[in-house]
Amino acid sequence: MAFQPIVDSESGAIYAHEALVRPLGGGSAHEVLSRITDENRYAFDQACRVKAITLAAELKMRSLLSINFLPNAVYQPAACIRATLEAAARTGFPQQQIVFEVTEDEPSRDANHLMAIFTEYKRHGMRTAIDDFGAGHSGLNLLAQFQPDIIKI
């Protein structure tokens, strides 16, 4: 896993770090992401969340931590957020510093389900974002329906 700085376009200041999957020994995210199947999607999504939070806490990250999530891996929002909440509590990482991004690579199969996910995350003080606004499936429809806290372009 690597952390990429996210810069505020107005101030030029780093306000967050995005957790990005990388294979051991370097390489591209594609090497890891190409191995995701319907059978391992949930476990992969959960493992990435926990790893990102654990590493951010170990690094004493003070900025927001942005985590891409796979909407179709979240079968029931309240149940699927448990590991995230447990990792934040165990490591002492403030859950209010966590941002969940909808990735442009995976459209949600159900808009109501995605809305329920966003609502659950916000209920726990987490923020939401649309990643690469305007690309792929992250267009005006997502913006209008879900009103994220952050829009990344």
Residue 136: what pLDDT?
A: 54
Residue 139: what pLDDT?
A: 55
Name the band, by pLDDT with cuts 50, 70 and 90, for residue 24.
confident
Q: Name the CA dihedral angle for 13, 16, 22, 28, rounded to a multiple of 10 degrees.
A: -50
Residue 141: what pLDDT?
A: 64
pTM for this predicted structure: 0.87
Provide the residue range defining the domain that includes 12.
2-151
Domain of 29, CATH number, reads 3.20.20.450
The tens digit of pLDDT for each residue in 33-78 reads 899 998 999 999 999 999 999 999 999 999 999 999 888 788 788 8
Backbone angles phi, psi at 6, to 5 degrees: -115, 125
